[in-house]
A and B are shown apart, each in its own frame.
Chain A
Amino acid sequence: MTGTGLLELKEVSSSYYSGETLLPVLDNVSLKVGEGEFVSLLGPSGSGKSTVLKIAAGLLEPDRGRVIYRGRDVTGEPRRVGYMPQQDMLFPWKTLAQNAALPLLCAGSGKRDAAARVEEMLPLFGLEGFGDYYPYQLSGGMRQRSALMRTMLIESNLWLLDEPFAALDALTRENLQGWLLRIWERFKGAVLFVTHSIDEAIYLSDRVYMISNRPGRIILEEVINLPRPRPRQVITTAQFAGYKETLLRTLAGEGY
């Protein structure tokens, strides 16, 4: 699966100025996401995970290093990609349906076509009948599903998801993880998924990169060979526990 690289970050370093002092954020980060592969980037808060996604999306230019997408150098070039920022970024002035239709309108669809397309997608995301609701009228879980739906409608085969479930309660979170896997299996996009939860990373991914505290370095790459489709019970298996131990040990080595 890792053979055909869809997205590749090559020795990327990044830093920013906080007042007068230059703060390094990323130090020589290299990673790959293959076609249709689910890859997680796991690390503590403030380790520069969001910066990796922004660089991957072309929204931020790294100090050093390159971003290769489908064999082309796209460093610092904003382009069509299913990017979902950490805050759900549903626009409060648009209804759920209008928010979800936005990527279609940007891609040149007519208003009516876009609305029909969104209407047809709502049930799949468990949002049937909520199209006319404003974001403030939706629960946290529904907001995340709406934002994911908008992300899918960007129609890129690469999704960059920045801690989409971090703000949810534990039960909603588990529920949405299983649901995300079903959506992903259906759409078959490649995913780069940022998280600070070890269980979430193992449960969802084909491969996990672990990133160190700031300045972020890749300290571990672990292939997760759990069967697909993955039932929830997989988290109680010895194999799952084995992966968890490896990841925890690496974290402990970093002083956590």
Chain B
Amino acid sequence: MKKWASIKNNLPAILFLSIIAGAWEAAVRLLALPAHILPSPTAIVMALIESFPLLAMHTRVTFTAVLGGLALSILLSLLLALAMDRWKPLKQALYPILVISQAVPIFALAPLILIWFGAGLLPKVLIVTLVCFFPLTVNLIEGFSQVDPEAVDLMKTMQAGQLMILRSVQIPSTLPYFFSGLKIAATYSVLGAIIGEWLAARAGLGIFMLRSMHSFRTSQLFASIIVVVILSLILFKLVELTGKLAMPWHKNTQENFKG
């Protein structure tokens, strides 16, 4: 029932995409556009199939940097948000800097990181971290500040220690904020890794894109776009699923409210 409903909901979008692809295919054939300007959808699918082994290898490299960066940014933002929640002066000192740091374009910072750390995995991980760190930290800070003081009071009347309060109240009540930050971070993360690869790397989807571009293999460029989209979607869904598993109460209450 539920599966069918979700297919039914997506039907208009699928239909619309098919129409566009059909029109695209027809236009390329009728106008006889050269493949390096605009390849037809079938040519793109062919390119996807032909360069699959190569694409898979580059995707693995990019994915490693993405996962590394996400993990590092989760760890850093958790520590920083906790520290800022505990010591208000730290929050007052750092919060404006955090916001300002987001005004510096990542394209300007990335070259610096590459100069300092070379062209391996580490600089890419750091760039992903830079991109993902902000939405995570801001959401976590918001989450910690929304913890109900009455809940903390109640824990005090049970003589609960700091760690117990953190575990039983602060962390669970912050989880929804954490996961909405992580959803944003996950979608940014692939972008971050590819930017790093554009600037300097030996392998990765960014490198594949650069090489395709330089050799005017436009169909391969489109194929890599499809891979990037799929990669981002998988990450997003993965975060969503983890969130549902980690917060059974949250998913259920949401469904309840929807009726």
Contacts and interface: CB of A to CB of B under 8 A. Distances in A.
A125 interface: no
Contact of A91 (B156, B172, B247): B172
Interface residues of A, number: 25
A92 B168 contact: no
B154 A93 contact: no
B249 A93 contact: yes
B157 A93 contact: no
A78 B253 contact: no
Residue among B157, B249, B256 facing the most chain A CB atoms (10 A cut-off): B157
- Tell me whether chain B's interface is mostly helix, strand or loop, or mixed: helix
A103 B168 contact: no
B156 A59 contact: yes
A91 B169 contact: yes
B160 interface: yes
Contact of B249 (A57, A103, A106, A134): A134
Contact of B168 (A102, A134, A137, A154): A102
Contact of B164 (A57, A85, A106): A106
A242 B172 CA distance: 51
B9 to A, nearest CB: 26
A93 B158 contact: no
Nearest to B150: A85
A94 B155 CA distance: 14
Interface string A81-102: 1110101010111100000001
Interface in B159-204: 159-161, 164, 168-169, 172-173, 175
Interface residues of B, number: 25
A76 to B, nearest CB: 12
A111 interface: no
Interface string B233-259: 000000000000001111011001000
A16 interface: no
A105 interface: yes
A54 interface: yes
Interface in B39-79: none
A80 B148 CA distance: 20
A28 B188 CA distance: 59
Nearest to B247: A93
Nearest to B253: A136
Interface in A37-71: 54, 57, 59
A156 to B, nearest CB: 8
Residue among A54, A83, A93, A105 facing the most chain B CB atoms (10 A cut-off): A93
B154 A105 contact: no
Contact of A103 (B150, B158, B169, B173): B158
Contact of A107 (B156, B158, B252): B158
Interface string A134-155: 1011000000000000000010
B249 A81 contact: no
Interface of A: 54, 57, 59, 78-83, 85, 87, 89, 91-94, 102-103, 105-107, 134, 136-137, 154
Given A80-B157, A82-B157, A89-B154, 17 more contacts: A59-B157, A79-B159, A80-B158, A83-B153, A85-B153, A89-B151, A91-B172, A92-B250, A93-B173, A94-B168, A94-B172, A102-B155, A102-B158, A102-B160, A134-B249, A137-B252, A154-B158
Instruction: List 7 tightest A-B contacts by C-beta distance, closest first.
Output: A93-B172, A106-B158, A83-B157, A78-B156, A106-B160, A103-B158, A80-B159
